[in-house]
Amino acid sequence: MATAYRVLKNTAKAGNAIIGAGVYSAVLQQGNAREGKVIKIANTTMDPWLDYYNEIIAPMNTNCHTPEVSKVYVDEANDYYVANMEELDPECWDLDDDEDFDKGSLAEDISDLVKGEIIQSEFESAWGEFRCVLFPWGFGEFYKVVDALIDGTDVLTSEDELCNEQPVEETRKLDLHAGNIMFRRGCVVITDPWCSLAVDDHPSMETYVEESNDKNISENYYI
């Protein structure tokens, strides 16, 4: 974990602004904003995002609803990884003036779709009016990602947690909320759908960034 923090500090020192952080990782803008690229640095190789990359993003690299990742470097010995990827929009600017669109509701319905709490026809009824923006290749392409998430998720609900028999660090829990979906020219992209059951016990990268006294971190933190 110490190596990940050192890599983060050196990457920020080189002029890459920290623009996001969560439990497992921090995201830095690579170069200037016009380049449209970010660097994701994680403080553990147990982050389920690596499973998402290996099992869904890479095999579905032409699917518009997964992020475009150009390179992933994994250092098992020092327990961190670095991913180079596209910069996405936190909001759907194409629908910014539409009072009927709500990102939180979209994330909730995607989560419910994966859990099986709503069916595809209900999802399409709710979001059909925004299909051309959010799902430009049609709902079918989006459902490919949803089906892969259903197959790859170990724990969908809190009830499933009670029945889990796997080590908690290796158990993938669905973690689809508004912070884990973003947009590419309006198209919805699922960025980070899983956490592990042990997430609450994991040292937070966000806390490290927010509490750091290192000027290379604090002076380059723009959240």
Name 116's Cβ contacts closer than 8 Å, sequence gap at least 6: 150, 156
Element housing 60 (H / E): none
What pLDDT, on a 0 to 100 scale, did the predictor assign at position 222? 75
Q: What is the pTM of this model?
A: 0.94
SS3 88: coil
* 20 touches 179 (CB < 8 A): no
Name 106's Cβ contacts closer than 8 Å, sequence gap at least 6: 127, 134, 178, 181, 188
Domain ranges for the chain: 88-200
Radius of gyration of the CA atoms of the chain, in A: 18
What pLDDT, on a 0 to 100 scale, did the predictor assign at position 184? 97
Element housing 5 (H / E): helix 2-13
- Count CA within 13 A, CB hemisphere, residue 60: 21
What pLDDT, on a 0 to 100 scale, did the predictor assign at position 223? 64
User: What's the average pLDDT block by block, 10 residues per block, for the chain (223 residues)?
Assistant: 92 92 95 88 97 98 97 97 97 95 98 97 98 98 98 85 81 95 98 93 92 84 72
Name 101's Cβ contacts closer than 8 Å, sequence gap at least 6: 92, 95, 130
Distance CA 179, CA 12 (A): 23
Q: Torsion angle, CA of 45/46/49/50, rounded to 10 degrees?
A: 50
